[in-house]
C-alpha cells in the first residue's frame, strides 16, 4: 500500500475511494478486535454475561466507562489496562483512517504549489 510520490499525479477518485475504504476496514478491524478482547476479558475475569461484557467493552471503547461494578483484583487490573488500551486504539484507528485523506490533501497542496 504505497502512496503517490512527490512528482506523481493525484490518484484517480475511484482508486482513492478504494484506498479510503481499505484503511477504514483496517481501522474497523482493529476496533472490532479490541472489542472482542474486552468481551472475552470481562467474561473470563469479571464473570460477566456476554451481554454485560459487550456493554462494558463498548462503553469503554466509546469513552464512557464501565457499567457493571467489577469484583476481584485481576478483573480490576484488566479493566484498567483495557481502558488504557481503548484510548490508544481509538487514536490509532483514527490515524489509520485519516492517513489517505491527509496524504491526498498534502499531495494536492504540493502539486498546486509547483504549478505557480
- pLDDT tens for residues 31-89? 999 999 999 999 999 999 999 999 999 999 988 888 888 999 999 999 999 999 999 99
Q: What pLDDT does residue 45 have? A: 96
Could you give the 3-state DSSP secondary structure of residue 38? Answer: helix
- Is residue 96 situated within a structural domain? yes
- Is residue 2 situated within a structural domain? no
Taking the C-alpha atoms of residue 7 and residue 18, their distance in angstroms, rounded to an integer, is 22
DSSP, res 69: -
Taking the C-alpha atoms of residue 87 and residue 49, their distance in angstroms, rounded to an integer, is 24
Q: What CATH code is carried by the domain that includes residue 17?
A: 1.10.287
DSSP, res 11: P
Taking the C-alpha atoms of residue 48 and residue 68, their distance in angstroms, rounded to an integer, is 9
- Is residue 5 situated within a structural domain? no
Q: What pLDDT does residue 83 have? A: 93
* Domain tally, the chain: 1
Residue numbers of the domain that contains 89: 13-64+72-106
Unique residue bearing C-alpha cell 483512517: 97
DSSP, res 49: -
Q: What pLDDT does residue 103 have? A: 87
Q: Which three cell numbers stand for residue 112?
A: 498546486
- Is residue 3 situated within a structural domain? no
Taking the C-alpha atoms of residue 116 and residue 31, their distance in angstroms, rounded to an integer, is 43
Q: Which three cell numbers stand for residue 65?
A: 466507562
Amino acid at each position: 500500500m504505497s502512496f503517490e510520490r512527490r512528482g506523481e499525479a493525484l490518484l484517480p477518485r475511484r482508486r482513492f475511494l478504494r484506498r479510503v475504504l481499505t484503511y477504514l476496514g483496517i481501522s474497523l478491524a482493529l476496533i472490532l478486535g479490541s472489542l472482542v478482547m474486552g468481551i472475552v476479558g470481562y467474561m473470563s475475569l469479571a464473570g460477566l454475561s456476554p451481554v454485560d461484557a459487550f456493554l462494558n467493552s463498548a462503553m469503554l471503547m466509546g469513552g464512557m466507562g464501565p457499567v457493571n461494578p467489577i469484583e476481584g483484583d485481576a478483573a480490576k487490573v484488566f479493566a484498567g489496562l483495557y481502558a488504557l488500551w481503548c484510548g490508544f486504539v481509538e487514536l490509532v484507528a483514527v490515524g489509520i483512517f485519516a492517513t489517505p485523506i491527509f496524504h491526498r490533501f498534502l499531495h494536492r497542496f504540493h502539486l498546486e504549489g509547483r504549478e505557480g
